[in-house]
Amino acid sequence: MSLPTPDEILDDLAFFDDWEERYTYIIDLGRGLPKLDESLHTPERLVKGCQSNVWIDVQADADKLYFKVDSDAVIVRGLLALVMAAYNAKTAAEIRSFDIDEYFQKLDLERHLSPTRGNGLRAIVSRIQGIARAAEPA
């Protein structure tokens, strides 16, 4: 399954009347993510600052970054899907220029997450942006 674009996600979420339906949609997006091989569940891929375990693996192909992500929590896999819609298969410059705060604001997401989930989401974004910074040519 390929992920919808951030704009498609925003359009899809607009159809739902309440956050319970939106959470179901977000969880379904996460279920569509490919599982990360257990051998990649390593300490160096583990994102610090998340309540749940989150692993991020990245491969560069030409100038694009391809992320594989996983979590042991279904809602977090859904949040990862939202982030992957914004960042996966993009150049480092595209990742760094994407306004993730505006995207989250449009999703009205952080208002509906617990503080610890919100902190974890910011840790995931920070890790990916750091990977993009490191991948940019000097």
CA distances from 109 to 37, 85, 106, 133 (A): 29, 15, 8, 25
Amino acid letter, 64 = K
Of the candidates 13, 36, 50, 83, the residue annotated as catalytic is: 50
Exposed/middle/buried for residue 122 (C-beta within 10 Å: 0-12, 13-18, 19+): middle
**The residue count for the chain:** 138
Indicate if 50 belongs to the active site: yes
Contact indicator for 128, 87 with CB cutoff of 8 Å: yes
Catalytic residues: 50
